[in-house]
Structures are given as C-alpha cells and as structure tokens.
Amino acid sequence: MDKKRIYLSSPTMHGDEQRFVQEAFDTNWVAPLGPNVNALEKEIAEYTDCGYAAALSAGTAAIHLGLKLLEIGQGDVVFVSDLTFSATCNPIRYENATPVFIDAEPDTWNMSPEALEKAFEKYPNPKAVICVHLYGTPAKLDEIMAICEKHNVPLIEDAAESLGSTYKGQHTGTLGKYGIYSFNGNKIITTSGGGMLVSKEEEAMKKATFLATQARDPARHYQHSQIGYNYRMSNITAGIGRGQLMHLEEHKAKKKEIYRQYKEAFSDIPEITMNPLNPDGDANCWLSGMIIDKECKITPDMIMDALAAENIESRPVWKPMHLQPVFEEYDFIPHNEDGSSVGEDVFNRGLCLPSDIKNTAEDMELIIRIVRGFFKN
C-alpha cells in the first residue's frame, strides 16, 4: 500500500537510547545484567517513588513473580480485572490458581468496586486482587484498596499501561503491595520488550531478583534449593529503557494532547463518547478510545475498516477475559445488578484510535475526518 502508515502506538526513539546501548557494547556488557539494569531500576524507583524495583524480561514476568511472592498456588482464588489483556491473567494459571473475573465500571472502565464487594461475598478468602489501570487511566484506588484492606487481601497493581499516570499525586503501581510496569514496544516508553516489578519492601524485591535469576543459591558451585526463572532484563534492553525514560514526560504530554484533540473534535457528535478519565488521577492517555451510542447503527468494525483502507491502524477494545475460550470455565462477577457486563458492553461498542505520538497535524486531521464522516448526518 502506497499510503503512509499511521500506527496505533509505535516506539519513538530519540538517540539517547543508542548512547546507553553503545556504552554497553564499548564496555562489553552485552551479557545479561550490568550497569544499565542497575541504573534503570534506580531511575524508575526515583521517578515513581516506588521504593525498590526489579527489571525483568516482561510485565507478565513481573505479575508472575508478584504472585510467587504472595505464595499463590494450587486452588487459590485470585480476583482480577476482567477488561484487560490476557497477560494480566495468564500468570494466575501458571500457578494453577483460580481466577475470578471482576467486571469494569462505567466511570473509568476499570475494576468495579461494587463487583469486587460482591466477589468477596461469594469468595470470602481470595489470596490476592490484581487491578488493571486500563489504557493509562487510574482505577478507583481508594475504594478498591479500602475493600482489600477490610478483607486483609494484598493488591497487585497492573500498571503495564499506566507508567507516568498518577492517582491523587501518587504514581500508579506504587499504592498496592506490588506494582508492575511494561516496556513492550507499544507502551508509553519501551525497552523493546521488558517489564518491572516494584514494591516498598526491599526484602521482597531481593527475593524477586533471586527468583528471576534462576534461584541460584549463594554457593561457589551451582546449587538450587527452589525453582527459579530466567526473567531478568538484559543490559542492552535496559540501556534502551534508560534513554526512553528521559523522555517519558514528553511522551505523556503528547499522548494527552492526542486525547484532547479527539475529545474536542467529537464533542458535537452525541453518538461518540471518549474513554472516561478518573478525575482523581492524571492519566498518561496511552491509548485514546471511543465508544458509540447503543442506538447508533455505526459499529466499531465499520470505523476500523474505513481507517484500515487508508493504512491507518486502530484496534478493538480488549475482549473481556470471561468471554475468552481459555477462561470460560471461571467465574465472572458483574457490575450491573441485572447481571449484564459493563466490560462486554464497552467491548461491543468501543475501539482504540491511533495514539502514536509521531502523528502529525495532517495525520490527526485525516483520522478525525474519517471518523466524523460516519456521523455527518
């Protein structure tokens, strides 16, 4: 296709990344671990005020280690956001634990505190709660944390999409017992692939690092007293992350401006509502989403097809986990009293718009014109 490709959310490099990577080559720190890994952990800890950080191969690995630290195992129940990507939930099954999916609520599209309360009534003794900050928008953390504290159950924040977002002045990922970030290629900053587990608990992070490096005991010979994992970030990818982190606030400002432009452009179209933001937080607006009125005959597929015809990438909202074939046997707790799912409704009527920070004014004008064209009458 000859038309310019406009991406949903692609990496944006600045040159600082290459400087740290070159330094790794110049000093022959191309093996796993090294100064860039140590520095990235320190820099993320300082930026988020999380306490301590462990640089890992993926956000998924971070969730898995969070569950390991909580000693989640066979038959344990874990409450988890339903409207999310499967990487949030897969580690629960790695440990043969049982996910119970908690519906979204309409105010932020994040975990519903009302549904969470219902879940505790049905399952009084879960081992953990995993709450996602969808598309960079902070969840209703005061309410969710109060419920978790009332039942003495630890909270893991899946902040994979929300690095840089804050809730009442605190960075998402730092309010629960453990938090996780993702540096996947499409995230607000990237290490190509990678993630981070964070916590205020130094000993927990030491154990996470131990488990992530094959759980090798401190002996001269190779000795292992428990099962470990090859989950540590490499010194090369950490170098990319260090360069990216220098531009995180710049990326966030551009993402927020993209959201603002869409919201303003569609403000006169009653059939379109942008993804809601939490007034108690400051979202990084990683992805800008929209939802179409129930009575409207326009569908998300129609808009995505029209964008694709112009070589413009968009995508559906996450398909809720309770609708996924791999998780169909597990329970789902709805937000609505009539048993209907908020997340399913958002999935059926929503889509994610191109949110690449390299979008030009002309790119945005084209995207907006295509979408508006469906509603001009």
- Percent of the chain, pLDDT > 70? 99
d(CA 348, CA 292): 9
3-class DSSP state of 135: helix
Residue 128 binned pLDDT confidence (cut-offs 50, 70, 90): very high
CATH number of 248-373: 3.90.1150.10
What pLDDT does residue 376 have?
79
Residue with tokens 């840089």: 164
Average pLDDT of the segment spanning 256-279: 98
Give me the chain's average pLDDT, please: 97
pLDDT per position as a tens digit, 364-377: 999 999 999 999 76
Nearest to 311 by CA among 351, 349, 354, 352: 354
Q: What is the pLDDT of residue 153?
A: 98
Amino acid at residue number 151: H
Q: If you average pLDDT over residues 185-199, what whole number do you get?
A: 96
Reported as a single tens digit per residue, the pLDDT across 293-324 is 999 999 999 999 999 999 999 999 999 999 99
Q: What ranges do the domains of the chain cover?
A: 16-245, 248-373
Q: Is 319 exposed, middle or buried (0-12, 13-18, 19+ CB in 10 A)?
A: middle
Class of domain 16-245: alpha beta
Give the tens place of pLDDT for each residue, 47-80: 999 999 999 999 999 999 999 999 999 999 999 9
In tens, the pLDDT along 133-173 reads: 999 999 999 999 999 999 999 999 999 999 999 999 999 99
The helix (run of H) or strand (run of E) holding residue 257 is helix 248-265
- Cα three-residue angle 285-279-343, rounded to 5 degrees: 65
pLDDT-derived band of residue 2, with 50, 70 and 90 as boundaries?
A: confident
CA dist., res. 287 & res. 356, Å (int):
8
CA–CA gap between residue 98 and residue 86 (Å, rounded): 14
Per-residue pLDDT band for 1 (boundaries 50, 70, 90) equals low
Q: How far apart are the first and last CA of the chain?
A: 30
pLDDT at 377: 64
